[in-house]
Structure 1
Amino acid sequence: MTDGLPPPKQSSLAPSSRATHYTAMTSTRLRLPSFTVQVFLGMAAGLLLGFWARALGEASAPAEGLRIVGETFVQLLRALVVPLVFTAIVASIAALRDLGNAARLVASTLLWFAVTALIAVAIGLTLGTLMQPGARAAVDAAAAIRPATTGSWLDFLRGLVPSNMLGLAASTKLEGGVATTSLSFNVLQIIVVAIALGIAAVRVGAAGEPFLAFNAAALAIFRRVLRWVVRLTPIGTAGLLGHAVVQYGWQSLSALGAFAGAVYLGLGLVLFVVYPVLLRVNGLSVSGFFAAAWPAIQLGFVSRSSIATLPVTEAAAERIGVPREFAAFAVPFAATTKMDGCAAIYPAVAALFVAQYYGLPLHASDYLLVMLVSVVGSAATAGLTGALVMLTLTLSTLGLPLEGAGLLLAIDPIIDMGRTAVNVAGQVLVPTIVAKRQRLIAGIAAADPDAVPAAA
């Protein structure tokens, strides 16, 4: 019976043809924008939601939701850092044994670390001298406080010695009579442990093959999990950027506008002028580089953490064409010691700001000291986190008051977004240039705009 309804219209297509037609229609309807577009949409949504939540108040449900979404995404990425770095470094050691130029790759990587840092700090010193941010600051002198954590040239040696096999550390805080314990990890120590175990596994010969095979399988599994997490980047970006707007806003920029402008101008020159010039000089495609690296740069900007962005940064280098065995070593190492934003531009401008604010003259020898600290100082602070450590190292080397660092804390989170983005870009750039110069890649392949920037 049809209950008065007309009989269903029969399709003129055969069953197999109908299935193919349906699949084609469904795939067309469900086609999503490219991954890069998704991330941009996430950033736009984060800004809108952030301003809305800020109007409602920091204690509002939307503000809390943005915070939870952003923190959860970063926690997922950080949870993968230790196993990914460890297994990738061990696998890279096993793969590099077949390369006759492994030592040359490492030496070339360190050389380009120094070259790009030298250019970045020169730009920072030039802008700090010309723009005079310290002389134009309206910040209250009462904000000058001595930071609790300062940089030291001994930190690098201390950071090289692992406290345990996993490079983990626990700290306990007592607040309101409640004790909370948190775990943290030192990527530099993880790299040291992984290199030692990787070399040992290679040297023992056949006895180490089962370990290397297990490590390769674990690496493939963790990379698959990473791919799932990276797909959440647009959502995580919205939460992180929205939370930043809620928490910091932009009103604190007024007193330190000249300083913020000098830092961001320097960051922009390095990212959009210096890096493209270096790419072109080495015969690499600028557009191809940014197409592959941009998701990692975006994530670094909103997450403010090179370590949290590390898995995506390494995937971006591999997507460009850097061999996996080299990228697995160079990118994690760069994430701890290659920081053109935090260790070059920022401390240069900030040191001049402090000197100008207190009316202390700096001579040519002081400028040379800043350049020296910026080139090798990031290694000295590799076991610690934050540009504040690098800044205090620079100030103490120049004999400037460490309390001056406290003048800049009000806008540090806003500055940190740009610093980290440049850090991440440099951490992709150097392995790419080294791989090209060592003829490991012919050039940068055109990036697929729909591809998720993570290894399958």
Structure 2
Amino acid sequence: MRVRMALYILIATVLGGLFGHFFPEAGVAIKPVGDAFIRLIKMVVLPVIVSTLLVGVAGIGDIKRVGRIGIKTIIWFEFFTTIILILGLVIANVLKPGAGLDASHLPKADITGLESNTGKVMDGTSLLLNIIPTNFVDAMARGDMLAIIFFCVMFGIALVGLGERGRPFVSLMEIVSQASFRLVNLVMTVAPIGVFALMAATIGTYGVQLVIPLLRLIGTAYVALAIVVFVVFPIVAWFLRIRIIEVYKMVWDLMIIGASTGSTETVVPQLMDRLERFGAPKSITSFVIPAGLPLNSDGTTLYLTIAAPFIAQLFGIHMTFWHQVMMILFFIVTSKGVAAVPSSSMVILLATATAVGLPAEGVALILGVDRVIDMARTAVNVMGHVFSSTVVARWEGVFGQKDPEVTVQSSTREEAEPV
């Protein structure tokens, strides 16, 4: 079944592209079908995240351990994000995808919507303050993932403190989690139709005339992402003492589904289930993966440090070493701050381009091929969640162990029960 769905979605992607190419007006006309599929995905994200986080934090059963896992998760996210940013910058400087291209012959996309969202890119202080929601219901309505995660972690810690009195609520959230996972599976039954419409609309809107001149950018991005999948991740796997072949076997179809839908959220339930069987306990994955959705997008992060130098090279702008260091620091902060904003990667890129003196026009030139590159970077994001969960599980010394039945432990105990 898993192979069949991945195959159906892959075929739908190809057929949608062909349909959009040969019948561009019809491809644009069916865009609402793709938009409806995206709305279905967004509809199921919050129930999945809220329920799994609450169950996961309560299942850890010890306040100190919750904090320890959280700190280790953030350390890994920031460490690996920095590695990825540096790698992308090196590849962009070596391959120089924008050098020699004539910007005047490239069609421009409309970036009005992106410009209206650049004000939502926050500095470090604002980011920390906005993680704390003043109204949880409002945070859910806006899809502010960082604020939602913060509240759920704090609420989960409060549940741990309730001891046995919190068990009925945790049991309820376990049911909500299971129902949410089933709802995701129902939504995924129409994924081939949604993917077909999305790809047809993209190609119908922009056409291959935009893709061909930017093949160097697309090729550079795909090479960089391939290096992450086939070089960087195998090195991490070696340090973790796991077989990279087993990881590939576990997630290859989920990478295809994530790439075709352009959303990591569509595969979260399946990914958590497989990781649990792979060796990462549910108490780890139910915390690390939801936190990683806004904080740990390896493929997206890599692309940002390729796209910004591409714009500089395209317009013949020399970026000094310190300009590039400043750009990396900017990406480290802003890549965490606009998770709820549509086309967040392009919003971050536009804000960064403005901050380091690059023309916003460059973002308009590459916006049309973003969908093509987004497929590959979403696939890398999926694999990134595998390694973040495995790293934290290894660090905690629980990799390969099974979780006990989910219960709420008393916060007065000296030690949590073994996971």
Q: Give TM-score scaled by structure 2 length.
A: 0.82
Paired AA for residue 130 in structure 1: V
- Cα separation, partners in 2 of 1:53 and 1:261, compared to 1, 3 Å: closer
Q: How does 1:207-356 map to 2 (within 5 A)?
A: 207-230=165-188, 233=191, 236-238=194-196, 240-343=198-301, 345-356=302-313
Corresponding position of 2:18: 51
- Cα separation, partners in 2 of 1:410 and 1:222, compared to 1, 3 Å: closer
Corresponding position of 1:40: 7
Q: Work out the CA distance in 2 between the residues paired with 1:245 and 1:115.
A: 37
Q: Work out the CA distance in 2 between the residues paired with 1:250 and 1:277.
A: 37
Corresponding position of 1:454: none
Q: Work out the CA distance in 1 between the residues paired with 2:255 and 2:129.
A: 30
Corresponding position of 2:415: none
Choose from 101, 104, 112 the match for 1:137.
101
Q: How does 1:92-241 map to 2 (within 5 A)?
A: 92-98=56-62, 101-140=65-104, 143=108, 147-150=115-118, 151-153=121-123, 156-157=127-128, 159-162=130-133, 164-168=135-139, 184-230=142-188, 233=191, 236-238=194-196, 240-241=198-199
RCO comparison, higher one (Cα < 8 Å, 6+):
2
- Cα separation, partners in 2 of 1:275 and 1:167, compared to 1, 3 Å: farther
2:396 counterpart of 1:438: yes
CA drift of 1:143 comes to 4.1
- Contact 2:19–2:200, Cα closer than 8 Å, also in 1: no
Q: Secondary structure at the match of 2:117?
A: coil
Paired AA for residue 148 in structure 1: S
Q: Work out the CA distance in 2 between the residues paired with 1:358 and 1:54.
A: 30
Q: Secondary structure at the match of 2:103?
A: coil
Paired AA for residue 414 in structure 1: V
Q: Work out the CA distance in 2 between the residues paired with 1:224 and 1:48.
A: 28
- Cα separation, partners in 2 of 1:384 and 1:77, compared to 1, 3 Å: closer
Using the TM superposition, name which of 189-198 and 323-332 deviates more.
189-198
Q: Work out the CA distance in 2 between the residues paired with 1:330 and 1:57.
A: 41
- Cα separation, partners in 2 of 1:302 and 1:228, compared to 1, 3 Å: same
Paired AA for residue 113 in structure 1: F
- Contact 2:281–2:400, Cα closer than 8 Å, also in 1: no
2:49 counterpart of 1:85: yes
Please list the CA deviations of residues 393-450 of structure 1 after superposition, one character each: whole Å capped at 9, or x if unmatched: 433443434443223222222222222222222122211222134332249xxxxxxx
CA drift of 1:275 comes to 1.1
Q: Work out the CA distance in 2 between the residues paired with 1:52 and 1:311.
A: 31
Choose from 335, 341, 366 the match for 1:408.
366
- Contact 2:54–2:156, Cα closer than 8 Å, also in 1: yes
Q: Work out the CA distance in 1 between the residues paired with 2:205 and 2:246.
A: 35
CA drift of 1:309 comes to 4.5
Paired AA for residue 122 in structure 2: S
Q: Secondary structure at the match of 1:204?
A: helix
Paired AA for residue 357 in structure 1: L
- Cα separation, partners in 2 of 1:46 and 1:159, compared to 1, 3 Å: same
Q: Work out the CA distance in 1 between the residues paired with 2:340 and 2:15.
A: 37
Q: Give TM-score scaled by structure 1 length.
A: 0.76
CA drift of 1:269 comes to 1.1
- Cα separation, partners in 2 of 1:294 and 1:231, compared to 1, 3 Å: farther
Q: Work out the CA distance in 1 between the residues paired with 2:333 and 2:278.
A: 28
Q: Secondary structure at the match of 1:366?
A: helix
CA drift of 1:329 comes to 1.1
Paired AA for residue 55 in structure 1: F
Q: Work out the CA distance in 2 between the residues paired with 1:243 and 1:132.
A: 30
Q: Work out the CA distance in 2 between the residues paired with 1:188 and 1:314.
A: 20
CA drift of 1:327 comes to 0.9
Residue ranges of structure 2 left out of the alignment (5+ in a row)? 402-419
Runs ≥4 residues deviating over 6 A? none
Based on CA coordinates, which of the two structures has the bigger radius of gyration? 1
Paired AA for residue 305 in structure 1: S
2:324 counterpart of 1:360: no
Please list the CA deviations of residues 241-297 of structure 1 after superposition, one character each: whole Å capped at 9, or x if unmatched: 455444444331223222222222111111222112211221112122122222332
Please list the CA deviations of residues 371-405 of structure 1 after superposition, one character each: whole Å capped at 9, or x if unmatched: 33334432233453421122134334434344432
2:356 counterpart of 1:398: yes
Paired AA for residue 7 in structure 2: F
Q: Secondary structure at the match of 1:255?
A: helix
Choose from 381, 391, 394 the match for 2:338.
381
CA drift of 1:330 comes to 0.7
- Cα separation, partners in 2 of 1:107 and 1:68, compared to 1, 3 Å: same
Q: Work out the CA distance in 1 between the residues paired with 2:274 and 2:38.
A: 18
RMSD: 3.1
Using the TM superposition, name which of 414-423 and 96-105 deviates more.
96-105
- Larger helix fraction of residues: 2
CA drift of 1:168 comes to 4.8
CA drift of 1:91 comes to 0.8
* Identical counterparts, % of pairs: 27
Q: Secondary structure at the match of 1:359?
A: coil
Paired AA for residue 40 in structure 1: L
